[in-house]
Structure 1
Amino acid sequence: MMSQFRTTLRNRIDDVRQAITEARQAGDGYAASLHHARLEDLLHLAARNDVDTSRTVETTVTEPADPR
């Protein structure tokens, strides 16, 4: 059961990272900021449940895009 949770969580993190990239490429800083906030929530959830996210976050940009 925990293995499925970990897999799902990592997949959601990957999806949000992709959404951040797409929003930035589209010039939508607001959407990128919203996705970044979601990413932070998912990373906190992972940390609370001892899910290793080093593979998923190694290329994650840590600063949200400027929403202007």
Structure 2
Amino acid sequence: MKEFTTTLRSQVDQAKQAMTVARRVGHDYEVHLHGARIRDLLDVAARHGIDATGWVDRTMLDDAKLGAS
């Protein structure tokens, strides 16, 4: 399970970095897509009983919702 958790955390970190870049260059739709990916990965973690608290700042995800400014 440790390898699964490590891989999942790595995927979350990669999506966070991609979302940060998309935000920096003004690609709002890509920000939304990366935010959705992160939420999906956090759902996977929860389904497997993995505590993902602190992996992502929730305000970052709220800002990534389509239509958010």
- Identify the TM-score tier after normalising by the shorter chain: 0.7 to 0.9
Aligned length: 66
Structure 1 residue identity aligned to 2:2: S
* Distance change >3 Å, CA 30–CA 57, structure 1 → 2: same
Larger relative contact order (Cα-Cα within 8 Å, sequence gap ≥ 6): 1
Gaps of 5+ in 1: none
Unaligned residue ranges in structure 2 (runs of 5+): none
- Aligned-residue sequence identity (percent) comes to 41
In structure 2, distance between residues paired with 1:39 and 1:62: 8
Taking only aligned residues, the RMSD between alpha carbons, in angstroms, comes to 1.8
User: Structure 2: which amino acid aligns with 1:12?
Assistant: Q
Query: What's the TM-score once normalised by structure 1's chain length?
Result: 0.84
Q: Give the match's secondary structure for 2:51.
A: coil
Which residue in 1 is equivalent to 2:14? 15
What is the match of residue 49 of structure 1?
A: 48
1:6-54 Cα shifts (integer Å, max 9, x gaps): 0000110111111111100010001110111111100100000111212
